[in-house]
Every structure is written in structure tokens, then in C-alpha cells.
Amino acid sequence: MDYLIRKVSIVDPGGKHHGKVVDVWVKDGIIREIGREIRRTGKTRSLQAPNSMLSGGWIDIGCVGGEPGLEHRETLRSLALSGAAGGFTGLCMFPNTRPAIQSKSEVNFIRSKSVDLPIHILPIGAVSKGCIGQELAEILQMREAGAIAFSDGMAPIQNSGLMMRALEYLKLVPGGLLINQSLDHSLAGKGQVHEGPVSTLLGLLGIPLLAETTFIHRDLALLRYTASRLLVHKLSGEESVAILRAAKKQLSGLFASVSIFNLVADASRLENLDANYKLSPPLRDASDRKALVRGVAEGTIDCIVSDHTPWDPESKDLEFQSAAFGSLSLQTCFRAYCTHLLDELGIDRWVEMQVHNTRSMLHLPVQHVEEGCAAELSWFVTGTHSLFTDGELHSLSRNCPYPGSSLRGKVLGVFSKGKFTPDGISEKLA
């Protein structure tokens, strides 16, 4: 089927149609024509919405799934539908499944099981077997099978020797990328929230920013030694941004990300002990949040990640001290950005990070909205406000902090794999 998106504003920084209001004709998964008042007849489906925008398809790095082994939290299908509803056409999924994505067999399983899903699921291979940081996994074989990058995901690498060997191995892979959250478990201990006024007020053990910055220094030292490629995942503090700002002037293979949660909220959100805001890294001080926003604006931080982490009620609906770290966010990431940051950072910055920067980091072709290009596209509006409800969630889990909140912006649909998925719900999969 072919589609004609009418009177849509193109958001494609660096592209020749950026900022223009045009019609876009998509047929067989390819952008066939861009112009004003395109006329098509027959089976062409016309799509139009007031003040809508169109960009290359967004990619999220480091979301957590469940399949295989943890399907009660999330299946590949529910993950894909959540991602499409959030405007993403590609999801780089962490390897924290059972078994972990630690060999070519698991990579092949993810790729084959996701063929018929509406968007791309891109498996991230484990650095260590079982993601437990002891024995190096089959990195080269996983890459040959289609692993997009490598990480132990929710388990930050504590073994410096293993991390160094992984960085060395990835030099043998064109565009090889290691993704690691810099977190020293021995310093974080049994901390529950950011170490500061809120942890004192709540009487909870704190996680000092030192637990992050100490390992950032370690990881940068390993990167310098190996001359490899590293994404320092989910910066959370002002000092972390300063360290990366200085290091990126010397290290071409260094990249940084930030969780949408740390970008839009601070530790004050925890004063009512809402476990949905119990996150890793934790929400920190207001000054840290502002520094992260500056890091995004200036380019020290390369991409914003959803930090999507589904948990079953037995893991999350507990007293705060016992609840797991993490929350759902694929469907709310863009809307949270629009609500809290759009006026300050603009929509161009969002697209630069989620389209151009992510693809460059992953050595994927940069997606432009131009004739002849593949129709991997996100269609959205930024100005409207609406109530987000629990009934909108496609995840099998429910640990989301936003139901009942008025959020700005809306995803109208995505074009991916030659199909259009409206409002995140595939007509053929629904």
C-alpha cells in the first residue's frame, strides 16, 4: 500500500527539505516524491493532521525486554508495539534476558522472532556470559549474527580486565561499540536514592555521584589505552558531564547518553516514595538535572534514551526499599521531552539526537527525509496536550509514573519495514 502524508513539516536538520511544509508520497517502503500538492489516485491512502511533523525514524538505545525467559514482563511483540507507540522505528534491546543474549543463537532468535513485528528490534550482545562480568561472551560470532552493539546492560561491568579485553575485541569489528553504565557497586552499596537532602529526609541509604564518576574515570582510561569505541550510558550528574566534556575533545570514539528520567526530573520527585521513580542511575539534585540539559544542548551528550525497564508487580509493587530499579518509558519518552524540554531545546535537537547521532554511533546509514530514501519515518505533533492513561500502555508491565498526567506532544504513527503503524497499533497485528 502507498501513502500520501499531506501538509507535513519536515524536521531533518542538514536535509534539503528541513523546515518545509510539503506532501510526502511513500510507496513500497520508499519515499517516492516530496513536493507541494502532490496528486495521487487509486489505492493511495491520504494522511493529514494539523501542525504535524515528519522526521527520520527514531532509534532508542538500551531498552530492556523480557523475551526469551521473562515473557511475563515483556514480549518482543509488546516491546515493539510500545516502541511504535512512542515514535521509534528501531529499538536496541539490552541482553538481560534468560538466557542472556550471549551467543549467535540468542541473536538469531531475536532477529528471526522479530521479523514480522512493525519496527526493528536490534539485539545488543552481552559482553560477558550471563551478564555476570566473569567470562567474555562470543563477541565476534554475535556481531556476525547481527548484534548491533555490546553491553552487559543492567549489570555495569565491574571487572576492569574483562572490560579492557572487550574493548580490544571490538576494535576487530567495524563500528564496534561497547555500551556501559559507569557505576561502582562497591561505592553504591545498598543505596536506594541519590545521596543528598532527599535521602536524609527519607532516611534512606544514598548512592553518591562518586560511584558514577569514579568508574567514568576508569572507563575513559581503558578507552584511551585501547583506542576503541565506548558509549558512557546514562550520565546522571553535573561532574559527570564536565568529565565527558573535557574527554570528548581528545577521544573520537567516546559517546554519552542520558536517561529521559534524569533529564526531566530530580530527586524531589521521591519525597512521596513513588517507587516508579526509583531508577538507576537515581534522580539527583536540581543542579545535576540542569547540567544534563546543558550537556544535551551543547552536544556533550549524544543521545537521550528511554531507559525502558519493565517489571512485574512482584518486583515493583513493594515497599520502596524492596522495589526494583526502573520504569516503563518507551511510550512517554518523546512526550516527556515535549512537556519539559521542548521550549528550551527545540524539536531539531531531539531529531538530531534520536536519528542522526544514534545512527552514527551504531554505524547505520543516516536517515534523511528525501526522495529515494527508505521510509523509516516518525510522524508526530508537538503542541497538543492530552491525558496519558494506563489503558494506553502496550507493555505487559505497568510500572510507569505517568498515567494520569497531562503530557504534551503525540506520536501519530511510524513508517517502518514498508508499513505504516498508526498511533503505535498495527492494523494487522491488533
Is 192 within 8 Å of 203 (Cβ atoms)? no
What are the φ and ψ backbone dihedral angles of 207, each rounded to 5 degrees? -105, 110
Residue 310 backbone zone (phi > 0: left; psi -120 to 50: alpha; other: beta): beta
Q: What is the rounded distance in angstroms from the CA atom of residue 62 to the CA atom of residue 53?
A: 26
DSSP helix/strand/coil, 90: strand
Cell 512493525 appears where? 118
Is 184 known to be catalytic?
no
What are the φ and ψ backbone dihedral angles of 245, each rounded to 5 degrees? -60, -45
Residue 377 bridge partners (DSSP): 56, 415
Q: Could you tell me which of 13, 424, 31, 14 has the C-alpha nearest to residue 5? A: 31
Q: At what angle do helices 286-298 and 342-351 cross, to 10 degrees?
A: 40
Q: What is the rounded distance in angstroms from the CA atom of residue 204 to the CA atom of residue 277?
A: 14
Q: How far is CA 124 from the centre of its chain?
A: 12
CA dist 352 to 22, 44, 59, 399, 409, Å? 20, 30, 11, 29, 18
Residue from 307, 343, 348, 390 carrying the catalytic annotation: 307
Instruction: Respond yes or no on whether the N-terminal peptide bond of residue 156 is cis (omega within 30° of 0).
Output: no
Residue 136 bridge partners (DSSP): 128
Is 140 within 8 Å of 173 (Cβ atoms)? yes
Q: At what angle do helices 333-340 and 342-351 cross, to 10 degrees?
A: 140
Is 64 within 8 Å of 310 (Cβ atoms)? yes
Residues labelled as active-site residues: 307
